[in-house]
Amino acid sequence: MRWAWIYAEGFRLMPKVLAQYRADTIATVIGDLLYRAVRLAFIGVIFAVTPQLGQWTAWEVMLMWSMAMLADAIGNFLFAFPNRVDSYFHSGQFDYARARPVPIVLWANLDASHPRYAMVVITFVATTAVAAANSGIFESLGQTGLLLLALLCTVFVLTGMRLIMFLSCAWFTRSRQFFHGIASFMDHSRYPIDIMGQPLRGVLTAIPIAFTVFYPVAFALRPDEYLMPGVLGLPVGLAMMAGGLVTLRFALRKYQSVGTPEVWGAS
């Protein structure tokens, strides 16, 4: 309970700290929102030339994309640590954090978090609600519940995958390109994967990138058609989150110091 209070207090004080750098903070928030707005406009470009993408309407595709952005923003706001984990391990910041009387992960999350994530959460709560309303989700209490479950599954899968990928980056010092490539590959899941070829669909399902948003949202929109992958959504999310936390625990246990010849200690 004590650490929860410290965590909440850190988020409360964060805007005051960043207010000392108003120009940087405003530029970062505006730049982040513009970046996401441009990506949202891409959906408008697609539907300017076609009324549907496969069997999916423009509002349904927007719902998938908005849910992915919302889940990513929630994960980044509450658990931002994975985004900078390799720099912490190789810059010596973890050595500094270990001398503090708070858990390392708590310190790292507060250090890595930024108010822009809160702004993105608010933005995509609005766009998700609009897309869901126009997709007919709110007409059924059951579908509304499935959409909330889809959001939970998506947050778990995305956060677990980020933990596994970026903690693994620490073993490769500066070589993050491979993992950034996988992260970029996740963009495929923000659109209907059933319009893609079977080999790509199989790969996205197995990884399981397809569970980062498509299957959970498709289950909320069409429960009968996507029953099996929809039911698997929560177990997959919990498994990915568990895998991420196990990787995190292993990394923290193996870490010695940035000044040692082998950061991770003996095998």
Q: What is the pLDDT along the chain (267 residues), one digit of tens a residue?
A: 565 666 666 666 666 666 666 676 677 777 777 877 787 788 888 888 888 888 999 999 999 999 988 988 888 877 777 777 767 776 777 777 777 766 777 777 777 666 667 777 888 899 899 999 999 999 989 999 999 999 999 999 888 888 887 777 666 555 556 666 666 667 777 888 888 888 888 888 888 888 988 999 999 999 999 999 999 999 999 999 899 888 878 877 777 766 554 444 444
Rounded to whole angstroms, how far apart are CA atoms 25 and 23? 5
The pTM assigned to this predicted structure is: 0.80
pLDDT at 199: 86
Region of residue 68 (phi > 0: left; psi between -120 and 50: alpha; otherwise: beta): alpha
Q: CB of 218 within 8 A of CB of 74?
A: no
Determine which helix (DSSP H) or strand (DSSP E) holds 24, and give its type and residue range. Answer: helix 22-47
